[in-house]
Structures are given as structure tokens and as C-alpha cells.
Amino acid sequence: MRLPLPCLACCKPVSTESGRIATTFVFVELEGEHRFRVTCPQGHNSVVGLRQPRFKILFESGALAILDGYYREAVATVASSLERFHEYWIRATFLHKKDQEKEFDSTWRLVAAQTERQYGAFLLLYLRETGRTPPYLAEKLVKFRNDVVHKGAFPSRSDATDYAEQVLKLIALMNRELQALAPDGVAALKTQQEMEIAKEDAIAAAIVTIVGRATDMSPKHAVFKDELQFLDERRQGKGVAEVSVV
């Protein structure tokens, strides 16, 4: 997987209060769970560990696949992003309740290899926590995803883009809701990830992502085609983008 990431040596401060800095981006490859080695045109070298949870990076990768014309790969990766978001939602909800933290990992192992069981757990936990049925993809989109992933169907760019847009709407809506529902759990997951990055001897940083932007816009829906254009500009190193290293 490759992503447009910042050269930290080229960064310039924008706001000391937010810790956000502006930079042009370099297209680099993933070396591990979070680790990217960045070498910019000026010859600067840095190792960056992204603080974003996996579902955000997967969605970014799926969007890049659409830009590159790999539509089957895009659909499969975006579908994985939604699955990993369900896991993230479950983990954050349980970690928010400190007394259940120790038992979670041992229980999760029983469903870790079975996404259908994970989804069932998510549906019932969401109902218990919110009193509502969670938003979900239309049956035709589920069939579309299954045909692509399991039957070798070849989607068009339009089909892949429509699927990604609907998944983005779901994730952004529920992710924004989760920040208020389980803030301590979200913070705990962030701390866990920062500890993993520290073990890899990398600089912890966060980039602007499509899911992050869409979450901030919620309940207004982000326009996915506009987000694709923004991502395309970043991967080409055009303009200025932002990264947080605090």
C-alpha cells in the first residue's frame, strides 16, 4: 500500500496552538502496521507512524485504487475499511467501560477470524448502547460487494465510486456519534496506537484523510468525488496539505 505522506523536515508551522503544519506530500510505501519511510526530493529522510486507526487508512487506500483504475481492489479495500470500523466501534465501546477492558481481548479472539460474527456483535452492541438499529448498507450494495469480492465481478468506476460514497456516509455518521458515546474508549485506542508507533522508532503523526474530513462535516455528507480530487492533488504533491505531529 502506498500513501501521500509529509516530509517532516520540510514542514513549516501554521499554528502553534493546534500543532498543525503545512507541507507538500511524497508518495511512499507502508513498511509495517503503521510505519512509512519518507524520502523527499530534497533528500530528507524520516520514518513516520500514522496515528489514524486502520479503517481510515484502508479507506484512503481504496480511494487511491479508484484513482488508479483498480476498481475491484477499491471495492474490496473499502469493504475492509467498513469491517475494521465495526471492530473499532466495538473496541472503543468496551474500552470506554474500564471494568471490561481485561476480558475484551480474550473474548475477541473467538470472533477475530470471522467477519460475519463480528458484524453480528456490532449490530447487537450498537442496539444496546444507542437503543437504535445501526445504519447499514442497502441490500443491493451488499450483493454488489459480494459479487465483486467472492464471484470475481468487475465493477465500473461509477459503481466503485457509488459504493465508496455510501460506505463513507455510514462510517462518518457513526464515527462522529462514537466520539460522543465513548470518548474514553476512543482515547484509549489512540494511546494504544501511539505506544505501538513508539516501539517502531517512528515519529507519530496524523494526516488529513477522507474519513476524517467526512466525520468533521457530519451530519452533512461529504461529496466523495470532491474528496477524490483533493486526494489526487495531494498524491501529486500539488498545493499545501496539513499534518499534526503533537
pLDDT digits (tens, 9 = 90+) for 142-194: 999 999 999 999 999 999 999 999 999 999 999 999 999 999 999 999 998 88
Longest CA–CA span in the chain (Å) reads 54
Pairing, β 20-23 against β 25-29: unpaired
CA atoms within 13 A on the CB side of 159: 18
Q: What is the pLDDT of residue 16?
A: 47
- Average pLDDT value for residue range 213-242: 83
pLDDT in tens, 76-86: 999 999 999 99
Contact 117, 91 (CB under 8 A): no
Record the cell numbers describing residue 73, joined without a space: 481492489
Banded model confidence at residue 99, pLDDT cuts 50, 70, 90: low
Which helix (H) or strand (E) is 22 found in, with range? strand 20-23
- Please report, as a single letter, which amino acid is at residue 153: A
pTM as predicted = 0.90
Q: What is the pLDDT of residue 6?
A: 77
Q: What is the pLDDT of residue 3?
A: 82
Q: Give yes or no for a cis peptide into 135 (omega within 30° of 0).
A: no
Contact 93, 187 (CB under 8 A): no
Backbone angles phi, psi at 18, to 5 degrees: -85, -20
Contact 157, 68 (CB under 8 A): no
pLDDT in tens, 1-60: 778 887 877 776 665 455 556 566 788 887 877 788 888 888 888 888 888 899 999 999
Contact 203, 244 (CB under 8 A): no
Contact 168, 214 (CB under 8 A): yes
**DSSP annotation of 30:** B
Which tops the pLDDT comparison, 206 or 134?
A: 134
How distant is the alpha carbon of residue 214 from its chain centre? 11
CA atoms within 13 A on the CB side of 52: 27
Instruction: Report domain extents, the chain.
Output: 2-244
pLDDT in tens, 197-220: 888 888 888 888 999 999 999 889
